[in-house]
Amino acid sequence: MEIVLLGTGAATPTLHRRPTSTAVILNGEISLFDCGEGTQLQLLKAKLRPGKLARIFISHLHGDHFNGLIGLLTSLQLGGREKVLHLYGPEGTKDYLAFMQNLTGFRFDYILAVSEFDGAAEEIIWEFDACTVTARPLQHRIFTAGFRFEEKPGLGKFDSEKAAKLGIPPGPLRSHLQNGKSIELPDGRRIEPVEVVGPPRPGKKVAICLDTQPCENAVKLARDVDLLIHEGTFEHARVKLAGETGHSTVVQAAEIAKNAGVQRLIITHISARYREEEAVALAEQACAVFTRAVIGRDLMRIVV
In the complex, minimum distance from the CB of residue 100 to its own copies, in angstroms, rounded to a whole number: 8
Which residues, other chains included, contact 208 with Cβ-Cβ below 8 Å and sequence gap of 6+? Answer: 22, 33, 59, 146, 147, 148, 149, 229
The 1-20 site mask, x for binding its own copies (CB under 8 A), equals ----------xxxxx--xx-
Q: Cβ of residue 67: shortest distance to its own copies, in angstroms?
A: 5
Nearest distance, CB of residue 82 and its own copies, angstroms: 17
Query: Does residue 62 touch its own copies according to CB under 8 A?
Result: yes
> Smallest distance from the beta carbon of 235 to its own copies, in angstroms?
18
Which residue in 34, 64, 226, 298 is the catalytic one? Answer: 64
Q: Looking at 104-112, 162-170, 176-184, 202-210, which segment touches its own copies (CB under 8 A)?
A: 104-112
Closest CA relative to residue 130, chosen from 149, 148, 151: 151
Pairing of strands 85-90, 112-117: parallel
Q: Could you say which residues in the range 113-152 bind its own copies, by CB under 8 A?
A: 141-142
Looking at beta carbons only, is 91 or 123 nearer to its own copies? 91
Q: Which of 27, 52, 63, 170 binds its own copies (CB under 8 A)?
A: 63
Contact 246, 212 (CB under 8 A): yes
Task: Tell me, by CB under 8 A, how many residues bind its own copies.
Answer: 36
Neighbours of 111 (CB within 10 A): 12
Q: Which stretch binds its own copies (CB under 8 A): 33-41, 108-116, 160-168, 193-201?
A: 33-41
* 51 is a site residue for its own copies (CB under 8 A): no
Residue type, position 75, single letter: S
Q: Tell me whether residue 64 is one of the annotated catalytic residues.
A: yes
Binding interface with its own copies (CB under 8 A): 11-15, 18-19, 37-38, 40-41, 44-45, 61-64, 67-68, 70-71, 74-75, 78-79, 92, 95-96, 99-100, 103-106, 141-142
Catalytic residues: 64
